[in-house]
């Protein structure tokens, strides 16, 4: 009988969202990876089945919730063969629409497989696969490793390339994670870190991409003129996606700045986003943005799969006369402290805030979420490298967040800014304005990082 394990903090984050929003749809993760060549579907099917054996996280299942609503996880076989879908009859937009509809499908039930593959024949000569997986099994970096490994397996069977190296044992890494998280000294240290922040800065203050009016409306609704949080949309979760591409030369300038100033791209983006929030919220200095980090540092963690992405509040109180560079370093310091305690369960942070400030149910201090994704490490096989590839991520259609920005690198050197926004309260125009000002702030900052935040906000 398979051994059962508790959820990690990262998995619990998704599980809590599933419970809060009452649908597994919020945990859907979907991608299509296709190559423009006469790919052999029988070989690909064999590779996908083999991948489920090699990459243990794909075989995870969850138990029925106990009386406290807690679930456990265990490994089981993934026996279902991928179905074949011929979507080559229409345009690529038609094919994307169909695959998008698959991304909305939920995995409903206990003790069931949470991974589904389909073989897809797409227009314009592209052939590949569609993967639909519960986010508690895998994150975007894990998916990138999976896609790369499947294609290496394909290269082995189709072209006689070298057999890919074994991936790290998911179960071993899971046990290590759970052991580390249960370490009482680690727990106490992380709790102290978060408690000290609240001791120093007090209750956080909500900031919205639509400005102060959102908080003011929440204050009226709750009859509390001092309320510092705003309501979360729990019912109308439909999300739209708007992508903007920063051209390669400008993207290179950004990455050069990061390299020269030893500022990580994540921290630079956090600074830009928080500066925008400050600008549209009457120069508010206390800003919190939720940031996703992918906890993959050891070589085992990099190839073991699993859902290791976890979201922590990046709260900074930065005065307007702080220089762009100093503000970036301040964020870096905050983030470093978070990284050092990355195994902590963010639910405990929210619980502590609720305990201290009696935060009303279904409210939040945060309107924006950020994730910065590394490039997909696709197969190094020379035969595959020359073949055009099409990788597309599909939103699950149910946003737990008002605005979720994913910044990723494109193969042509561009940076993709993908804004997922709840359509009940935001429009495409809001995203257009946000992107426009983010770029203005970013480039005014990196062209002269000795400018103060006030100066930059005045300029843009």
Judged by the rule CB under 8 A, the positions of this chain that interact with other proteins are: 180, 183, 185-186, 189, 193, 264, 293, 295, 297-300, 332-333, 335-337, 339-343
| Cβ density class 68-103: b for 16+ within 10 Å, e for less | eeebebbbeebeeebeebebbeeebeebbeebbebb
- CA dist 298 and 168 (Å) reads 10
User: Could you tell me if 434 and 279 are in contact, meaning their C-beta atoms sit under 8 angstroms apart?
Assistant: no
Contact 297, 141 (CB under 8 A): no
Q: Which is nearer to other proteins, 24 or 373 (CB)?
A: 373
CB of 182 to other proteins, least distance (A): 12
Q: Tokens at residue 107, please?
A: 């995995």
Q: State the minimum distance, in angstroms, from the CB of residue 196 to other proteins.
A: 9
On whether the CB atoms of residues 353 and 359 are closer than 8 A, the answer is yes
Select 119 or 327, whichever has its Cβ closest to other proteins: 327
Rounded Cα distance between 382 and 246, Å, is 28
Question: C-alpha distances in angstroms, 261 versus 128, 320, 351?
Answer: 40, 21, 36
How near is the Cβ of 185 to other proteins at its closest, in Å? Answer: 7
Q: How far is the CB of 348 from other proteins (least distance, A)?
A: 17
Minimum gap (Å) between residue 219 Cβ and other proteins: 35
Continuous segment of H or E residues that includes residue 250 = helix 248-261
Beta bridge partners of 231: 363
Nearer residue to other proteins within complex by CB, 265 or 445 = 265
**Of 159 and 339, CB closest to other proteins:** 339
Place of tokens 């400008």: 250
Nearest approach, Cβ of residue 80 and other proteins (Å): 35
Q: Cβ closer to other proteins: 106 or 264? A: 264
Minimum separation from the CB atom of position 127 to other proteins (A): 33
Q: How far is CA 418 from the centre of its chain?
A: 11
Whichever of 32 and 349 has its CB closer to other proteins, that residue is 349
Residue 250 C-beta: closest distance to other proteins, Å? 23
Closer to other proteins by Cβ: residue 329 or 440: 329
Smallest separation, CB 294 to other proteins (Å) = 8
Q: Is 53 exposed, middle or buried (0-12, 13-18, 19+ CB in 10 A)?
A: exposed
d(CA 58, CA 136): 10
- C-beta atoms surrounding 457 within 10 Å: 20
Q: Which residues lie across from 314 on neighbouring strands?
A: 289
By C-beta, is 135 or 295 nearer to other proteins? 295
Q: Report how far residue 18's alpha carbon sits from residue 7's, in angstroms, rounded to the nearest whole number.
A: 14
Measured distance CA(152)–CA(411) in Å, rounded: 19
**Pick 113 or 148: Cβ nearer other proteins:** 148
Which string of DSSP letters, residue by residue, matches 10-58? HHHHHHHHHHHHT-GGGGEEEEEEEESS---HHHHHHHHHHHHHHSGGG
Residue 351 structure tokens: 């619980």
In the chain, how many H helices and how many E strands? Answer: 15, 15
Instruction: Report, in Å, the least distance between residue 404 CB and other proteins.
Output: 20
Residue 209 dihedral angles phi and psi, to the nearest 5°: -65, -15
**Nearer to other proteins among residue 299 and residue 358 (C-beta):** 299
């Amino acid at each position: 009988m398979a051994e059962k394990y508790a959820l990690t903090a990262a998995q619990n984050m998704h599980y809590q969202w599933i419970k809060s929003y009452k649908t597994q749809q919020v945990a859907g993760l979907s991608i299509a990876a296709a190559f423009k060549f006469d790919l052999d579907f029988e070989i690909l099917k064999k590779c996908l089945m083999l991948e489920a054996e090699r990459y243990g996280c794909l075989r995870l299942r969850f138990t029925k919730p106990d009386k406290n609503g807690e679930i456990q996880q265990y490994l089981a076989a993934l026996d279902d063969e991928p179905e074949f879908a011929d979507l080559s009859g229409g345009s690529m937009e038609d094919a994307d629409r169909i695959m998008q509809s698959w991304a909305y499908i939920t995995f409903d039930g206990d003790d069931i497989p949470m991974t589904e593959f389909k073989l897809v024949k797409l227009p314009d000569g592209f052939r590949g696969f569609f993967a639909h997986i519960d986010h508690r099994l895998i994150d975007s970096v894990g998916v990138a490793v999976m896609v790369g490994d499947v294609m290496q397996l394909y290269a082995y069977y189709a072209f006689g390339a070298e057999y890919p190296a074994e991936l790290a044992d998911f179960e071993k890494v899971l046990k290590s994670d759970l052991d580390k998280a249960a370490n009482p000294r680690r727990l106490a240290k992380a709790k102290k870190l978060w408690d000290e922040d609240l001791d120093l800065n007090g209750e956080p203050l909500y900031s919205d991409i639509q400005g102060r009016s959102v908080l003011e409306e929440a204050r009226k609704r709750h009859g509390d003129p001092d309320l510092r949080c705003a309501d979360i949309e729990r019912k109308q979760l439909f999300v739209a996606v708007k992508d903007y591409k920063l051209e390669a030369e400008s993207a290179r300038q950004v990455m050069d700045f990061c390299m020269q100033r030893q500022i990580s791209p994540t921290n630079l983006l956090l600074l830009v986003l928080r500066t925008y929030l400050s600008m549209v919220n009457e120069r508010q200095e206390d800003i919190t943005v939720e940031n996703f980090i992918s906890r993959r540092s050891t070589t085992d963690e990099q190839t073991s799969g699993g859902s290791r992405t976890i979201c922590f509040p990046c709260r900074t109180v930065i005065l307007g006369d702080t220089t762009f560079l100093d503000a970036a370093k301040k964020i870096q310091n905050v983030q470093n402290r978070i990284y050092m305690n990355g195994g902590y369960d963010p639910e405990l942070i929210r619980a502590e805030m609720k305990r201290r400030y009696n935060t009303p149910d279904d409210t939040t201090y945060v309107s924006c979420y950020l994730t910065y994704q590394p490039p997909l490490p696709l197969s190094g096989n020379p035969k595959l490298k020359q073949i055009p590839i099409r990788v597309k991520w599909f939103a699950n259609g149910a946003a737990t967040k008002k605005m979720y920005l994913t910044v990723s690198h494109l193969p042509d050197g561009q940076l993709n800014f993908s804004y997922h926004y709840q359509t009940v309260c935001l429009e495409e125009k809001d995203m257009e304005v946000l992107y426009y000002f983010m770029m203005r702030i970013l480039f005014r900052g990196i062209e002269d990082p000795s400018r103060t935040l006030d100066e930059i906000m005045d300029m843009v």
